[in-house]
Amino acid sequence: LSLFNKIPRAPPDKILGLTEQFSKDTNNNKVNLTVGVYKDDKGLVSTFPTVAKAQKILEQGEKMNSDFSYLPIIGSPSYRISTLNFLFRDSCPESGPKLLEQERVSFVQTLSGTGALAVAADLLAQFVSRTVWVPRPSWPNHVNIFKRHGFSDVREYPYYEDGKLDVDEWITHLRKNVKKNEGVRHCIILHACCHNPTGLDPTMKQWQQILDTIHELEMIPIIDMAYQGLESGNPVRDAYVLRMCLDKSRYESWPHGLFLCQSFAKNMGLYGERVGSLSVVVPPNQPDSKDNVESQLKQIVRSMYSSPPGYGCRVATMVLSNDNFKRDWYKNVETMVQRLLNVRQGMYDRLGWKGLLNFEQQHGMFFYTGLKPHALNRLREEYSIYMTMDGRLSLSGINDSNIDYVCDALKAISD
Ligand code: PLP
């Protein structure tokens, strides 16, 4: 008997499985609100104007490295410089430059944000910790990634319940369950902004309390910054959690490191090009740490996929390394966010469900309804409106042609 008979069917991906179902749906009114890909007001996934311009220049000019040779294992050197500048100089002007000068940031170009999380998990599991805290709810792939990459202990911290972010409960839960002297280091995933799926983020004051607690408990922050710019429309402004973590007047250092997993998928529209990075901020006064960590990141990448893809990172580098391009890119992000805000407001005006949701604080690409699976099944079966089963809908799939249809259906199933 073939051993292949022993391989069971894996469950479909919670989000991408719905997209497959959507493509088979024959209802002309069908609306796909599942995946977090930005679509314009005509329902099209279009390239950001600045990104398209950078692409054109690359293709025409000598800068296009026209061979398809391998990149170095840890990525393109020019992408490294421009991304580090963007993250640690532009986004953290007070604290970041010093960290770079002191050689305290290990860096690797990654297969977007997912790749950054996977490489971070591999490194941590091998040398530092196999325990990670993930918010409940969270992007479902967090648990998948950390379990697959060596974490034996994946725990959840209470984040959201019945329309509310519960920061006090979050802090109390950590204080009760994380003991800094027990010999086990605990990692914690923090959504830098635009929490997925709820769209609810703590206020600055709450972040302060949270970070103080995490620091006091000597936890290891893993900042997942997949939506930088989608909260306020300004990528620099949205890096506030990173800035707070690195503010020396608050925290002298993170004694077991700080991990930043970053992606240009959403804020440059480079989804399928897989352009992202992992930065590890190492503690001070450990002169070898940065290079040691980077050498291990290199080993991990070598064995996982050998080297990252070369095209998308060249486009991102072009945008990041030229001040005019960068300024125009920021404007593109602002335009995208303005449209998302208009759609959110349009839905709020039509729905007026104040009781169920905490509308004001929601940010980013998603609108979290809190609807339960039976209601979501009705939406799909009766109206061909597809949302993820955690009750999240992607605002980017909504435009003038379907907003009334979607809101009427939401009202009908929640009556
Ligand atoms: N983290 C969160 C919270 C996300 O929502 C996503 C994408 O949906 C990612 C990370 C990673 O995305 P990508 O690998 O496309 O950069």
Q: Give the number of other Cβ atoms within 10 Å of residue 111's Cβ.
A: 19
Phi/psi at 155 (nearest 5 deg)? -115, 160
Give yes or no for a cis peptide into 97 (omega within 30° of 0): no
In angstroms, the Cα distances linking 200 to 161, 176, 229, 359 are 11, 24, 15, 9
- Strand-pair category, 392-394 with 366-368: antiparallel
Predicted structure pTM score: 0.95
Look at phi and psi of residue 183 and say left if phi exceeds 0, alpha if psi is from -120 to 50, else beta: left
Report DSSP letters for 53-74, one per residue: HHHHHHHHSTTS--S-PPPPTT
pLDDT given for residue 382 in this prediction:
96
Question: Which residues have a Cβ under 8 Å from the Cβ of 105 and sit 6 or more positions away?
Answer: 84, 88, 99, 279, 280, 281, 282, 290
Size of the chain in residues: 415
Ligand 1 binding pocket mutation candidate from 111, 132, 138, 139 (most atoms within 8 A of CB): 139
In the reported structure, the alpha carbon of residue 64 is separated from the centroid of ligand 1 by a whole-number distance in angstroms of: 28
**Dihedrals phi, psi of 136, to nearest 5 degrees:** -115, 110
In angstroms, the CA 316 to CA 72 distance is: 17
Report the atom number in ligand 1 closest to the C-alpha of 36: 8
Among the listed residues 180, 213, 195, the one whose alpha carbon sits nearest the alpha carbon of residue 135: 195
Q: Whose CA is nearest to atom 2 of ligand 1?
A: 226
pLDDT at 355: 47
Residue nearest atom 16 in ligand 1 by C-alpha distance: 113
Rounded to the nearest angstrom, the distance between the alpha carbon of 113 and the centre of ligand 1 is 5
Residue 202: predicted pLDDT: 95
Q: Which of 112, 198, 366 to mutate to test the pocket of ligand 1 (most atoms within 8 A of CB)?
A: 112
Q: Which helix (H) or strand (E) holds 111?
A: strand 105-111
Give the 3-state secondary structure of residue 224.
strand
pLDDT at 359: 57
Interface confidence (ipTM) of the complex: 0.99
The protein residue whose alpha carbon is closest to atom 8 in ligand 1 is: 36
* Residue 343 · residue 399 · CB < 8 Å: yes
In Å, what is the CA distance from 335 to each residue of 84, 204, 339, 342, 382? Answer: 25, 25, 6, 11, 34
For residue 152 the two structure tokens come to 């034996």
Q: Name the residue with the closest Cα to ligand 1, atom 1.
A: 226
**Nearest residue to 131 via CA among 4, 272, 12, 256:** 256
- The reported pLDDT for the residue numbered 19 is 86
* Alpha helices (H) in 178-322, listed in sequence order: 204-216, 240-246, 289-304, 311-320
Q: How far apart are CA 237 and CA 214, in angstroms?
A: 23
pLDDT tens track, the chain, 415 positions: 889 999 999 887 777 788 888 999 999 999 999 988 999 999 899 899 999 999 999 888 765 556 789 999 999 999 999 999 999 999 999 999 999 999 999 999 999 999 999 999 999 999 999 999 999 999 999 999 999 999 999 999 999 987 789 999 999 999 999 988 788 899 999 999 999 999 999 999 999 999 999 999 999 999 999 999 999 999 999 999 999 999 988 998 999 999 999 999 999 999 999 999 999 999 999 989 999 999 999 999 999 999 999 999 999 999 999 999 999 999 999 999 999 999 998 998 888 765 455 555 788 999 988 888 999 999 999 999 999 988 999 999 999 999 999 999 998 887 6
- Lining ligand 1 with CB less than 6 A are 36, 112-114, 139, 191, 196, 224, 226, 263, 265, 271, 276
Query: How is residue 27 written in tokens?
Result: 């209802």
Burial per residue of 17-52, b for 16 or more beta-carbon CB atoms within 10 angstroms, e otherwise: ebeeebeeeeeeebbbbbbbbbbeeeeeeeebebbe
Q: What is the spatial distance between Cα 138 and Cα 136, in angstroms, rounded to a whole number?
A: 5
Instruction: Give the 3-state secondary structure of residue 245.
Output: helix
Task: Assess contact for 358 and 164: CB atoms under 8 A.
Answer: yes
| CA 249 to centroid of ligand 1, rounded, Å | 31
pLDDT for 16: 76
For residue 261, the ligand 1 atom closest to its alpha carbon is: 10
Positions annotated as catalytic residues are 139, 224, 266
